[in-house]
Amino acid sequence: MSDTAEAQSNYLLQTAGFDARFPNTNQTKRCFQNYVDYNRCINAKGEDFAPCKQFLKAYHSLCPNAWIEKFDEQKENGTFPASFEP
């Protein structure tokens, strides 16, 4: 097995599973909601709380990187359009 093939076999690619709250093909709202849910979860339970990582994986899978950067920037500036209070 070549080095490239071996390196590729070490990665497990996963996407977010089905969520009945978002049955349509447009996943924009789901991306946003998972970002908000992740931040609420870490505010309530801390970053080491394992179930919070499900939201992290989901929004990283669903959201374009540019959106995540914009969300992070808005969060830092206090202009994000949602509350992260649990």
| Separation CA 42–CA 37 (nearest Å) | 9
Model pLDDT, residue 4? 57
- 80: number of Cβ within 10 Å: 17
* Tens of pLDDT, residues 45-59: 998 999 999 999 999
Residue 2: pLDDT band (50, 70, 90) is low
Residue of 30, 35, 43, 50 lying closest to 86 (CA atoms): 43
pTM, two decimal places: 0.74
Q: Does domain 27-77 have CATH number 3.30.565.10?
A: no
Q: What is the mean pLDDT of residues 22-47?
A: 89
Q: What is the mean pLDDT of residues 2-17?
A: 64
